[in-house]
Amino acid sequence: MIRIAEMIPTDKPALRELFLQIRQQTFHWMDTSKFNISDFDKETDDEHIFVIHFNNTVAGFISFWQRDNFIHHLYIASEFQQKGLGTMLLQTLLEKTTSPVTLKCLKKNKRALIFYEKNGFTKKGTGIANNETYVLLEYGSIK
């Protein structure tokens, strides 16, 4: 059974673990020893968070900065990837907000870039943050 809901306090321990583990796996070219379990709280402070549960297990989340219509994080636990859960989370968020929605994706994160483009995001530019090149992506812009 799959369920998507707003984050509740009891989700946080599992989300902290998931955030740390998936960042360590995904951003393997970085010094992942600098990633900490407490990063989740700092990185998602004041963000709106939806959590996806698979058979009552936290399987992933999406965090969103509402003020700027900006997706900050979308992470799915390894064992639940390639099952459509990321797309479900993304669609849930897109249905609950106005367009356009933007996000930044590191250029080296090729799997994520493909995922976002398959889900209707278009490239709007590039930039550099923390010595990493990112791609600015947008969904639902008015042409």
Inform me whether the pLDDT recorded for 7 exceeds 60: yes
The mean per-residue pLDDT over the stretch 66-92 comes to: 96
The mean per-residue pLDDT over the stretch 31-58 comes to: 96
The mean per-residue pLDDT over the stretch 86-94 comes to: 96
* CA distance from start to end of the chain: 39
Residue 65 neighbours by CB under 8 Å, 6+ apart:
46, 47, 48, 71, 72
Tell me, what's the pLDDT at 141? 64
Q: Biggest alpha carbon distance in the chain?
A: 43
The mean per-residue pLDDT over the stretch 29-35 comes to: 94
Tell me, what's the pLDDT at 142? 54
Averaged confidence pLDDT in the chain: 95
